[in-house]
Structure 1
Amino acid sequence: MAFEDYLNDLCDIYHAQKGDESPGYGLTEQPSFSYPKEPDVLSVACHFAVKSESTSISQTAPANIKESRIKLALPAGTDVRLNDKIVDRKNGCEYIAEIPHDIHGHHLFVYVVAKGTQRYL
């Protein structure tokens, strides 16, 4: 089985962009980070390793906070960086990339973190 056959998902990658904004009230400009509206890398073949998912739920009021950490496999040479936004094209879930790791020039893996809230029904 080829590694490409293992990549059964698609994702979009958005690189973090640095800008300077003033918070107002006469304060000096501070660096701010945002993501572009259009992805920098579109429809990358990947694999979200759900079996390696590490999830925790903190029960707080008025919402519960869910944090997930998932291992993402990508082809070698994919332009993924620390703090990039990764969007799963299958379900629209958004993740933030940790430090990417190159595995002997064969492929990349990066842990991605999802953080979200779940409101009471």
Structure 2
Amino acid sequence: MAFEQFLNDLCNIYHVQKDTGSPGYGLNKQPTFSYPAEPDVPGVACHFGVKSESTSINQTAPVNVKESRIKLTLPTGTDVRLNDKIIDKKNGYEYIAEIPHDVHGHHIFVYVTAKGQQRYL
């Protein structure tokens, strides 16, 4: 099986941007962080390793919080950084990247985390 066939998903990568602005209410300027509206690296072939997924659900009131940690595989040379936002184009789920690891110049893997809420009925 060729490595290119292993990359069966597509994702968009957004680099975190630092700015200095006031949060309002008369507060002083301070560093703020945000993501751009358009992806910095669009349509990257990737593979979300769902078998490596680590999921936990914290029961809190009024909502339950689901946290997932998934291994994401990318082609070598992909510009992915710590705290980048990664969106799975198949289902629209959003993830935040941890530290990327280059595997002998062959590919890159990075653990991504997702947080979601389950609303009460």
Distance 1:29 1:17 in 2: 16
SS in 2 for 1:49: strand
Q: Deviation string for 1:91-119 (max 9, x for gaps)? A: 00000000000000000000000011110
1:24 is matched with 24
Query: What is the number of equivalent residue pairs in this alignment?
Result: 121
Gaps of 5+ in 2: none
Distance 1:67 1:32 in 2: 24
Gaps of 5+ in 1: none
Q: Which TM-score applies when normalising by structure 1? A: 0.97
Q: Deviation string for 1:60-80 (max 9, x for gaps)? A: 111000000000000000000
How many angstroms does 1:30 deviate by? 0.8
Amino acid at match of 2:110: V
2:71 is matched with 71
SS in 2 for 1:4: helix
Distance 1:26 1:37 in 2: 27
SS in 1 for 2:78: coil
Distance 1:120 1:25 in 2: 33
Q: Deviation string for 1:22-75 (max 9, x for gaps)? A: 133433211010000000001100000000000000001110000000000000
Q: Which TM-score applies when normalising by structure 2? A: 0.97
How many angstroms does 1:21 deviate by? 1.4
Distance 2:117 2:26 in 1: 34
1:8 is matched with 8
Question: Root-mean-square deviation (CA), in Å?
Answer: 0.8
Distance 2:24 2:52 in 1: 43
